[in-house]
A and B are shown apart, each in its own frame.
Chain A
Amino acid sequence: MRSITLSQAVNEAIAEEMRRDETVFLIGEDVAEAGTPFKVTSGLVEEFGTGRVIDTPIAEPGFSGLAVGAAMTGARPIVDLMFGDFLFLVMDQLCNQAAKAHYMSGGKLNVPMVLRTNLGATRRSAAQHSQSLHALVAHIPGLKVAMPSSAYEAKGLMKTAIRDNNPVVIFEDKLMYQDKAPVPEEEFLIPFGEANILREGRDVTLIGTSSMRQVCEAAAEMLAGDGISAEVIDPRTIVPLDAATLLESVKKTSRAIVVDEGHQNFGTTAEIAARISEKAFYHLDAPVIRMGAMDVPVPFSPALEDLTVPTPEKVAESARRIVAGELIHAL
């Protein structure tokens, strides 16, 4: 199978869906000729024209609001939000308008829009360009949240997102755009709400979203050397969340560590850990551990920034300690 970069995978997904459905369009800053600063949408304007690949002024509330209205009246916009940190700018349009229109109208209005943005630190972009804010939108009923962990998921989840009739926020890890993975040439979609078990194990379940999947996979390798068999699972979407797969795994291993790049407090790890604790309580031989990013704004200095995110070493160490029966406070 051919291997393509995450960037190419997203590009292919969008192009295929735009060919398939003429109401799909792309809107955002520098999405046309520039192809976005990450070059993900390069080539699309040449194929689909400026009528469907629309460059906007720097007006995030404005163009996301436009997307809501366009989606409500028959089009299917993909909004490109250049950095996940700008989510704060679009919260009213996304969370008060898009998320609630279907409910508030008693099911009569729909908002089939996709908001495409990114997450991930360690790029030395500092506090306002490095945040992983998916927990904020996962908290809002009416939104769906997808977190592709490689080029394969990026393509499959993007196509599903575009075809979904609900507002979907999809977060790509901005440090992974050049990372390659095998991606089938034939069309495929990855359904929402289906977690992926990447590695089977018996002693501990490692749950990793987005690029934390690779962190967990690396940790599992390390643990194997210590005679600890770790199961690694990628949830792929946090709303809807495939809790059943996670629970089945934890019931088998009796231990779980949830790894995510959002801040540890009040975030994704807390929600997943709570669900596991509630539903797999009598199967737990250790408390469920959260490993998120440190609860500090992302610092600029490389010496400091790298301390704030979960690493394979930290995950493996936490796993060793809970297998040994210790109570720990991660990070």
Chain B
Amino acid sequence: MTAAPKQNAEDYLRMYRQMVKIRTFEDNANQLYLDAKMPGLTHMYSGEEAVAVGICEALEVTDKITSTHRGHGHCVAKGAAFKEMFCELLGKEEGYCRGKGGSMHIADQLNGNLGANAIVGGSMGIATGSALRAKMLGQSDVTVCFFGDGATAQGLMYEVMNMAALWKLPVIYACENNGYSEYTRTDEIAAGEITARADAFGIEAFKVDGQDVLAVNALTRDLVARCRKGDGPFFVELETYRYHGHHVGDISRTYYRSKEEEADWKANRDPITLFADWLVNEGVATKAELEALSKAIRAEAAEAVAYALEAPYPDGSEVSMHVYLEAS
């Protein structure tokens, strides 16, 4: 853990809480799937918490993010609540999208989350467009585009980075490089260096340890400030790891990933453990306080899950609503 300037203890604790919330949310979502209580599939963010939290803690509510199919972490980090999130995953009416988006399309528009996207790289245009709008309308918000190493294979990425660079748009491209594009290692699907792609367009690119929430946060705060001044776009490659398979059903995965490797990351590079150690060492909190915090979050999650399981589905009449926005 890098030595970071001492922010407010409150800020640190909030960061920690957010990471634990993500981990807890994912544990519960995974269990819902294993218990056959959740329709469809979902994609776990566990292990990557520092990326979403480090970045989103540097953003205002008015700043925008676009997310991926692995989007629960971004959603929580940008301010979403457990109850509405679990409801959405279960297709219930009180979900953020009234049950119509599900895990892969979860959006929280009031908090600036423009949505998870089931198309790999599908939200890169949207993020860049949001930045275009900000610049054009003279607004000061910044947009962060989350995407994975796999998305660097999509042509859209190059088209939009090119335009972002040409027009100096306030967008930060955050590449969550977790080493695998579905079931294939990154080095087998991405030629050359990932940051070199940004270099090619003259976009300043950075590499950071994605498991170090403070490093991620510090870098992001700097880049966000520069974006607001018109220095954007920027590109960040965050080295991280996903503990689960590509999706919740990807359980026997030794054919593409060894158990030793997974165990190594969990034991030695867990972002929550690392940050907890740092907090304790720096005297920001005691182990007991952090444990109490985690326990409270677990209870909160359990309550939200129970609520969501009992919550009503949308009425059948909603199936044909929201295809078009009707003129008022």
Q: A69-B114, A105-B97 are in contact. Are A57 and B325 (CB under 8 A)?
A: no
Rounded to whole Å, the gap between the CB of A152 and the closest CB of chain B is 22
Which residues between 127 and 180 of chain B lie within 8 Å of chain A, taking CB atoms?
A: 127-134, 136-137, 139, 143, 155-156, 159-160, 162-163, 166-167
Rounded to whole Å, the gap between the CB of B113 and the closest CB of chain A is 10
**A142 and B324 within 8 A (CB):** yes
Identify the closest chain A residue to B314 (Cβ). A106
Across-interface contacts of A75 in B (CB, < 8 A): 132-133, 136-137
Across-interface contacts of B132 in A (CB, < 8 A): 66, 69-70, 75
Q: Produce 1/0 per residue, A82-121, CB < 8 A to B.
A: 0000000000110011001111111111100000000000
Rounded to whole Å, the gap between the CB of A249 and the closest CB of chain B is 26
**A61 and B159 within 8 A (CB):** yes
Identify the closest chain B residue to A50 (Cβ). B167
**B324 and A73 within 8 A (CB):** no
Across-interface contacts of A68 in B (CB, < 8 A): 125-126, 129
Which residues between 225 and 269 of chain B lie within 8 Å of chain A, taking CB atoms?
A: none
Across-interface contacts of B123 in A (CB, < 8 A): 97
Return the contact of B130 from the options A64, A73, A103, A141 (Cβ within 8 A): A73
**Interface magnitude class on chain A:** 35 or more
Which residues between 148 and 163 of chain A lie within 8 Å of chain B, taking CB atoms?
A: none
Rounded to whole Å, the gap between the CB of B259 and the closest CB of chain A is 36
Q: Produce 1/0 per residue, A25-54, CB < 8 A to B.
A: 100000000000000000000000001101
**B323 and A52 within 8 A (CB):** no
- Total A-B contacts with CB atoms under 8 angstroms apart: 153
Across-interface contacts of B128 in A (CB, < 8 A): 62, 65-66, 69
Give the docked Cα–Cα distance between A115 and B64 (Å).
24
Q: A61-B156, A66-B163, A69-B129 are in contact. Are A102 and B122 (CB under 8 A)?
A: no
Across-interface contacts of A291 in B (CB, < 8 A): none
**A23 and B137 within 8 A (CB):** yes
Rounded to whole Å, the gap between the CB of A212 and the closest CB of chain B is 26
**B129 and A104 within 8 A (CB):** no
B100 at the interface (CB under 8 A from A): yes
**B325 and A102 within 8 A (CB):** yes
**B122 and A97 within 8 A (CB):** yes
* 10 examples of A-B residue contacts, CB within 8 angstroms: A56-B163, A65-B124, A70-B129, A73-B114, A73-B130, A73-B134, A104-B105, A104-B115, A107-B321, A142-B323
Knowing that A65-B124, A108-B110 touch, tell me 18 more A-B residue pairs with CB under 8 angstroms.
Answer: A59-B163, A62-B163, A65-B128, A65-B129, A66-B163, A68-B129, A69-B132, A70-B133, A72-B129, A73-B64, A92-B122, A96-B119, A97-B125, A104-B107, A105-B97, A106-B99, A106-B100, A109-B114
Q: Produce 1/0 per residue, B191-214, CB < 8 A to A.
A: 000000000000000000000000
B327 at the interface (CB under 8 A from A): yes
Across-interface contacts of A144 in B (CB, < 8 A): 324
Across-interface contacts of A67 in B (CB, < 8 A): 129
A164 at the interface (CB under 8 A from B): yes
Across-interface contacts of A96 in B (CB, < 8 A): 118-119, 122
Q: A65-B156, A66-B163, A106-B97 are in contact. Are A73 and B133 (CB under 8 A)?
A: yes
Give the docked Cα–Cα distance between A136 and B160 (Å).
25
Give the interface of B toward A (CB within 8 A): 64, 66, 95-101, 105, 107, 109-110, 114-115, 117-119, 122-134, 136-137, 139, 143, 155-156, 159-160, 162-163, 166-167, 321-325, 327
Across-interface contacts of B324 in A (CB, < 8 A): 102, 142, 144, 166
Across-interface contacts of B136 in A (CB, < 8 A): 25, 51-52, 70, 75
Q: A23-B137, A64-B125 are in contact. Are A104 and B100 (CB under 8 A)?
A: yes
**B159 and A107 within 8 A (CB):** no
**B100 and A63 within 8 A (CB):** no
**B322 and A102 within 8 A (CB):** yes
Give the docked Cα–Cα distance between A175 and B145 (Å).
41
A74 at the interface (CB under 8 A from B): yes
Across-interface contacts of A164 in B (CB, < 8 A): 327
Identify the closest chain B residue to A163 (Cβ). B327
Identify the closest chain B residue to A75 (Cβ). B133
Identify the closest chain B residue to A62 (Cβ). B159
Give the docked Cα–Cα distance between A59 and B122 (Å).
15
Across-interface contacts of B322 in A (CB, < 8 A): 102-103, 105-107
Rounded to whole Å, the gap between the CB of A26 and the closest CB of chain B is 11
A319 at the interface (CB under 8 A from B): no
Identify the closest chain A residue to B129 (Cβ). A69
Count chain B CB atoms within 10 A of each CB in A69, A75, A101 and give the residue with the most.
A69
CB-based closest 10 A-B pairs: A65-B125, A69-B129, A62-B159, A106-B98, A69-B126, A66-B129, A59-B159, A106-B97, A70-B129, A70-B133
Across-interface contacts of B125 in A (CB, < 8 A): 61-62, 64-66, 68-69, 93, 97
